[in-house]
Amino acid sequence: MAKKTKSNDRDRIVYSEFGNPEVFERAVPDLPPNQQEVRIQVSRKGRGGKTVTLISGFQSKPETLSDLAKKLKAQCGTGGAVKEEAIEIQGDHAQKLLQLLTGLGYKAKISGG
């Protein structure tokens, strides 16, 4: 845990128990779409009976993932979110998302029943 001074120089670290905090951040590879294999799955578990299409298996930075989610939500005309390195799109849009992702160069497959 880093302590900071109360002087005018608030960004100067006086004491840090574990060293530089930036060192411990997890490195996320930002692979091009043609090197990523993503899975598309339709799920209703834990969502109050609402159907959600999950797209997982991304190896991208969070900024790239949120930009992609925004494009996919616009194409499907629905809402969604980015959660734990996966994109959730509201509704059953597996076939449409498969076409969109393969058009963008991703290696996408529909998994599950």
Number of structural domains the chain divides into: 1
pLDDT digits (tens, 9 = 90+) for 71-87: 999 999 999 999 988 99
Per-residue pLDDT of 49-75, as tens digits, reads 899 999 999 988 889 999 999 999 999
pLDDT category of residue 2 using cuts at 50, 70 and 90: low
Look up the CATH number of the domain holding residue 99.
3.30.780.10
Q: Can you tell me the distance from the alpha carbon of 5 to that of 42, in angstroms, rounded to the nearest whole number?
A: 51
- Structural domain of 64: 29-110
Q: Is residue 59 part of a domain?
A: yes
Backbone angles phi, psi at 110, to 5 degrees: -90, 125
Residue 16 lies in a domain: no
pTM confidence score: 0.73
Least Cα distance to 57 among 108, 6, 16, 1 occurs for 108
Distance CA 80, CA 90 (A): 5
Q: Is residue 5 part of a domain?
A: no
Higher pLDDT, 93 or 32: 93
